Amino acid sequence: EIVLTQSPGTLSLSPGERATLSCRASQSITTNYLAWYQQKPGQAPRLLIYGASTRVTGIPDRFSGSGSGTDFTLTISRLEPEDFAVYFCQEHRNPPGTFGQGTKLEIK
């Protein structure tokens, strides 16, 4: 089973700044089936990115995903107040794989 490790655990930034979140896999995700989800308190996760870099329709273009193999990154180019949340990565193979433990993006 692939283990996904996200870093940092908590990221403190101000609105307008750039956020870089990392997801590292214990072995190569050869199909690049890596997804990113955003979760706000009391809500279900929301799919942002799949296939490592494909943005879901309706997700602002300030969100971008990159990477391959074992190292993947979610970048938020200019943080808006509504972007402060917890972000999870997941190996979205068939059948579904594991989730990372999450990165909490908090307002500095």
Partner 1 sequence: QVQLQQSGPGLVKPSQTLSLTCAISGDSVSSNSAAWSWIRQSPSRGLEWLGRTYYRSKWYREYAVSVKSRISINPDTSKNQFSLQLNSVTLEDTAVYFCARIFYGSFAMDVWGQGTTVTVSS
Residue 37 CB, shortest distance to partner 1, in Å, is: 8
The residue from 14, 43, 61, 81 that contacts partner 1 (CB under 8 A) is 43
Which two three-digit tokens encode residue 61?
């273009």
Q: Give the number of residues in contact with partner 1, rule: CB under 8 A.
A: 25
Classify 92 as helix, strand or coil: coil
How far apart (Å, rounded) are the C-alpha atoms in residues 22 and 102? 10
The verdict on 97 binding partner 1 (CB under 8 A) reads yes
The verdict on 7 binding partner 1 (CB under 8 A) reads no
Q: Could you please report the per-residue DSSP string of 13-59?
A: E-TTS-EEEEEEEEEEETT--EEEEEE-TTS--EEEEETTTEEPTTS
Residue 16 CB, shortest distance to partner 1, in Å, is: 29
The residue from 74, 102, 103, 105 that contacts partner 1 (CB under 8 A) is 102
How far apart (Å, rounded) are the C-alpha atoms in residues 64 and 55? 7
The verdict on 72 binding partner 1 (CB under 8 A) reads no
The verdict on 24 binding partner 1 (CB under 8 A) reads no
